[in-house]
């Protein structure tokens, strides 16, 4: 019996497509691969920090690892690692694979306050960061969909109105800053979480994602500071974005809250 061309095509399609599907599934599947990875985080256009750790797992579209410092969900990070060729989407012959990723998970897995570690999960967004990121690297993003027609990277958009925008002019800020004195305890900590210096102070202003606080601390941009509110029984790891001396001669630290938002509802309604 003769068969038509379309019937012949249907007959061989499963055999032809199965390897393609299996190959794609392998690229999506997370593989336990403890390779060294360099994680770089930009705090602003001039300041960044990095940490070298090992991957817990990886696919062509995302990875998981543990850091000693938290990274706010919605931040972009640059990963550099010797990823196997079959898990890459570009730079197949380069010894190191550099790819941008969006932080989707940051969970504390430390055994104690002084032994904090954070489980980080990122979704790969491509070879380059989004347009405008380098001018405002503190911007937060969210993912919209994965580009199945291209290289499979996640597409991103600006995060909601609760995103951090402390580096923008006041008239462009999305978060509302409240100029109220909120009592806080500041602790300057090293990379291991050890307390180097502490003081009690109050805020000059505060928002969901950051605050300006009066201080006597000698803290340069990039310094990690633990903020404690006894009133709300909350501790927030923060990073110093900048400092300034006011007309009264008192130094203010501009802090970005990293691992959680401040419970601002209690402040505003108080």
pLDDT, tens only, 230-248: 999 999 888 888 889 999 9
Same fold, 36-158 and 175-269: yes
Q: Where are the domains of the chain?
A: 36-158, 175-269
What is the DSSP code (8-state) at residue 20? Answer: H
Q: What is the pTM of this model?
A: 0.63
Sign (positive/negative) of CA torsion 233, 238, 244, 245? positive
| pLDDT tens series, the chain, 270 aa | 444 433 433 333 444 344 444 444 445 678 999 999 999 998 777 778 899 999 999 999 999 999 988 788 888 999 999 999 999 999 999 999 999 999 998 887 876 555 678 899 999 999 999 988 888 887 888 888 766 654 568 888 887 644 455 555 554 455 678 999 999 999 987 766 678 889 999 999 998 888 999 999 888 887 888 999 999 999 988 888 888 999 999 999 999 887 678 888 776 665
Residue whose token pair is 């750790």: 53
Q: What is the SS3 assignment for 7?
A: helix
**Which one of 2.60.40, 3.30.530, 2.40.10, 3.20.20 gives the CATH number of domain 36-158?**
2.40.10
Question: Could you name the CATH architecture of 175-269?
Answer: Beta Barrel (2.40)
CA 79 to CA 269: how far, in whole Å?
42
């Amino acid at each position: 019996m003769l068969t038509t061309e379309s019937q012949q095509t249907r007959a061989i399609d499963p055999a032809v497509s199965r390897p393609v599907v299996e190959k794609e599934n392998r690229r999506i599947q997370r593989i336990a691969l403890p390779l060294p990875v360099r994680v770089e985080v930009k705090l602003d256009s001039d300041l960044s920090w990095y940490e070298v750790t090992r991957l817990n797992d990886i696919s062509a579209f995302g990875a998981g690892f543990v850091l000693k410092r938290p990274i706010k969900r919605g931040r972009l990070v640059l990963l550099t690692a010797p990823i196997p060729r079959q898990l890459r989407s570009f730079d197949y012959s380069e010894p190191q694979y550099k790819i941008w990723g969006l932080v989707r998970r940051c969970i504390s897995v430390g055994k104690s306050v002084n032994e904090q570690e954070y489980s980080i999960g990122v979704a790969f967004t491509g070879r380059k960061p989004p347009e405008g990121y380098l001018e405002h690297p503190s911007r937060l993003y969210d993912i919209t969909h994965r580009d199945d027609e291209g290289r499979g990277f996640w597409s991103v958009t600006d995060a909601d109105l609760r995103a951090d925008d402390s580096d923008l002019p006041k008239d462009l800020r999305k978060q509302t800053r409240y100029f109220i004195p909120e009592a806080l305890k500041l602790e300057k900590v090293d990379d291991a979480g050890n307390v180097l210096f502490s003081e009690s102070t109050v805020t000059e202003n505060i928002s969901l994602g950051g605050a300006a606080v009066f201080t006597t601390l000698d803290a340069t941009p990039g310094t990690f500071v633990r903020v404690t509110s006894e009133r709300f029984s909350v501790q927030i790891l923060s990073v110093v974005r900048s400092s300034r001396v006011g007309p009264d001669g008192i130094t203010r630290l501009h802090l970005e809250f990293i691992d959680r938002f401040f419970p601002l509802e209690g402040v505003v309604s108080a």
